[in-house]
């Protein structure tokens, strides 16, 4: 029991380092890697070569495809800033309505969801929060609603990287796991838009006159997610869902544009003063051109998916499978060199940039700036993936799972979202949480006779809730609205809503555990 408890040391270190000592994430994760390696080599008697090659497997898995897709996605966003395309997108969205509640849904929920699906890693909180603040919304309110909106799209953010990573860590199949995750998130995807309107509008009274459009915003997001996850897997559910939700919510907003807006919910639609003065204004750019890189990403991902078997099969042939870790229980690692989201996003961004009249020098400078911007994130993800591989192959994760199962028994399912939320609070990342705790959840499932798909999906649900409370997420939000140093205000505003969602998640996952086989 004592040795099993010691497996918690890397995670406990991260909690203390990030939440108490305020050590930067990349530094804290490197120390966590050292702690995990020392424990594996001493108490778990892992051979030095096995430990080293397991860490190397973690580094390689982080670089391709996870870090590749992050750099590609952030590059696409940064390039759209420099060409002025993002200003066009902002103006288009903000000109639809002057009702604060509708704007919250359009920018915080729909556009925020789209940004999470395309880029993630803070952009889906920072950009919508900055837009809402620029339109006159209270900065704390802007941060709060955008944090709430970001909780559940997180599982499929950055073109599905968290769930793709979870499949890699657990060995589960991508399509059934993706579908199971959306099934568990379905009630929350309907609930959260209502919570956003209530929280952003100052109480239940804000729902008056907006129940219909709020319900449409949620349903039109999650129903396409169900279909896409069932047939395509993890890469496109949030992208497709957010686009359809945006279109449906826009139509609903247009339909109610003639209705008078109560004074307390009226907002200005001018955010020009908040635009980046160094970037082109994009005033002459047509909306289609502004959205072109994102449209191309969607099209390329769709055309190379399993929906188009000839293309998918041809491109999938350009791949390598290698065994990196020398550990006896390590498997092989596959690398797809062409049909991988990062490559496709880069292609779309370059084509879109050319059409937007971005020269080669601008693109190169943007790429270098993006890589420089992401250095700390790269170190963090590589370290966390190495920690996960070492803990998995040394047997530490298995021992940790046994500890939690011993303490909670058959009630483990009720606490699994809390464990995931704790991991996301520590790491500030859905991807990192899947890496750290995904294998633990499936091993616990085996121990109590539950479906590994059910508890792996529960890890994603809990991670989404924990992420919006994480110091990293809140720091990103407050920086976007000029509240740097006032993180506690946003944390206090978000906390009660996150705790409500966490309680619902624990009850839902625990009580409905027996239905898991229905969904596979």
Cβ contact 326:55 at 8 Å: no
Q: How many domains are contained in the chain?
A: 1
Do the domain assignments include residue 520? Answer: no
Do the domain assignments include residue 388? Answer: yes
pTM (predicted TM-score): 0.77
Q: What's the DSSP call for residue 152?
A: T
Do the domain assignments include residue 282? Answer: no
Helices (H) and strands (E) in the chain, counts: 26, 2
Do the domain assignments include residue 21? Answer: yes
Do the domain assignments include residue 279? Answer: no
CB atoms within 10 A of CB 27: 15
- Taking CB atoms within 8 Å and a gap of at least 24, the contacts of 250-255 are 250/96, 250/106, 252/212, 252/213, 252/216, 252/217, 253/96, 253/97, 253/99, 253/102, 253/106, 253/213, 254/96
What gap in Å lies between CA 76 and CA 94, rounded to an integer?
22
Do the domain assignments include residue 276? Answer: no
Q: What's the DSSP call for residue 136?
A: T
- Distance in angstroms between the alpha carbons of the first and the last residue of the chain: 35
Length of the chain: 520
- Name the burial class of residue 1, with classes exposed (0-12), middle (13-18) and buried (19+) by CB atoms within 10 angstroms of its CB: exposed
What gap in Å lies between CA 78 and CA 312, rounded to an integer?
29
- DSSP per-residue string spanning 78-90: HHHHHHTHHHHHH
**Residue 333, H or E segment:** strand 333-336
- DSSP per-residue string spanning 410-465: GGHHHHHHHHHHHHHHHHS-HHHHHHHHHHHHHHHHHHHT--HHHHHHHHHHHHHH
Beta bridge partners of 322: 333
What gap in Å lies between CA 235 and CA 157, rounded to an integer?
8
Cis bond leading into 65, ω under 30°? yes
Q: Print the domain residue range for 23.
A: 2-267+287-514
Closest CA to 378 of 23, 159, 70, 57: 70
Q: What is the pLDDT of residue 275?
A: 40
pLDDT tens for the chain, 520 residues long, are 788 889 889 888 988 887 788 788 888 889 999 999 999 999 999 999 999 999 999 999 889 877 888 788 888 888 988 999 988 887 777 678 888 999 999 999 999 999 898 777 677 888 788 878 877 789 999 999 999 999 999 999 888 889 999 998 898 999 999 999 999 999 999 999 999 999 999 999 999 999 999 999 999 999 999 999 999 899 889 999 999 999 999 999 988 877 888 888 887 544 444 444 444 555 678 999 998 998 898 888 878 877 788 998 999 899 999 999 999 988 888 899 998 888 998 999 999 999 999 999 999 999 999 898 888 888 888 898 899 889 889 988 878 877 888 889 889 999 999 999 988 887 778 888 898 889 889 989 998 999 999 999 999 999 999 999 887 788 788 877 877 667 778 888 999 999 999 999 999 999 999 898 888 7
Do the domain assignments include residue 97? Answer: yes
Q: What is the pLDDT of residue 270?
A: 46
Q: What is the pLDDT of residue 492?
A: 86
Beta bridge partners of 321: 334
Do the domain assignments include residue 519? Answer: no
């Amino acid at each position: 029991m004592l040795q099993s408890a010691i497996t918690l040391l890397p995670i406990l270190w991260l909690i203390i380092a990030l939440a108490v000592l305020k050590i930067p994430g990349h530094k804290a994760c490197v120390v966590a890697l050292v702690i995990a390696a020392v424990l594996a080599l001493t108490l778990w008697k892992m051979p030095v070569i096995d430990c080293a090659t397991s860490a190397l497997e973690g580094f390689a898995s982080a670089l391709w495809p996870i870090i590749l897709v992050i750099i590609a996605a952030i590059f696409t966003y940064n390039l759209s800033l420099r060409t002025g395309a993002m200003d066009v997108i902002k103006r288009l969205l903000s000109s639809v309505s002057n009702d604060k509640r509708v704007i919250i849904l359009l920018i915080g929920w729909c556009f925020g969801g789209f940004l999470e699906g395309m880029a993630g890693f803070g952009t889906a909180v920072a950009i919508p929060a900055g837009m809402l603040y620029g339109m006159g919304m209270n900065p704390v309110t802007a941060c709060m609603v955008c944090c709430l909106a970001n909780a559940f799209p997180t599982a499929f953010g950055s073109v599905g990287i968290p769930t793709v990573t979870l499949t890699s860590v657990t060995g589960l199949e991508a399509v059934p796991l993706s579908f199971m995750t959306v099934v568990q998130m379905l009630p929350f995807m309907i609930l959260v838009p209502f919570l956003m309107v209530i929280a952003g509008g100052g109480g239940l009274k804000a729902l008056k006159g907006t129940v219909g459009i709020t319900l449409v915003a949620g349903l039109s997001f999650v129903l396409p997610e169900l279909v896409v996850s069932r047939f395509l897997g993890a890469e496109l559910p949030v992208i497709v869902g957010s686009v359809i939700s945006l279109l449906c919510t826009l139509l609903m907003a247009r339909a109610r544009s003639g209705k008078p807006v109560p004074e307390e919910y009226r907002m200005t639609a001018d955010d020009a003063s908040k635009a980046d003065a160094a970037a082109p204004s994009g005033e002459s750019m047509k909306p289609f051109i502004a959205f072109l890189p994102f449209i191309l990403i969607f099209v390329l991902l769709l055309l190379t998916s399993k929906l188009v078997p000839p293309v998918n099969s041809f491109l999938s042939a350009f791949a390598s499978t290698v065994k990196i870790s020398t550990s006896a229980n390590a498997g092989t690692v596959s690398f797809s060199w062409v049909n991988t989201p990062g490559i496709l996003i880069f292609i779309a961004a370059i084509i879109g940039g050319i059409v937007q009249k971005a020269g080669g020098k601008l693109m190169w400078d943007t790429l270098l700036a993006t890589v420089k911007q992401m250095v700390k994130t790269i170190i963090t993800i590589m370290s966390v993936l190495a920690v996960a591989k070492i803990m998995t192959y040394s047997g530490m994760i298995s021992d940790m799972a046994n500890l939690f199962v011993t303490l909670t028994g058959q009630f483990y399912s009720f606490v699994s979202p809390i464990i995931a939320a704790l991991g996301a609070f520590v790491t500030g990342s859905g991807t990192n949480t899947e890496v750290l705790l995904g294998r633990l959840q499936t091993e616990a499932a085996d121990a109590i006779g539950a479906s590994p798909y059910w508890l792996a999906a529960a890890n994603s649900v809990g991670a989404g809730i924990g992420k919006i409370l994480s110091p990293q997420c809140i720091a990103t939000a407050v920086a976007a609205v000029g509240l740097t140093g006032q993180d506690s205000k946003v944390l206090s505003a978000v906390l009660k809503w996150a705790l409500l969602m966490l309680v619902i998640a624990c009850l839902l996952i625990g009580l409905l555990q027996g239905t898991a086989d229905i969904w596979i």
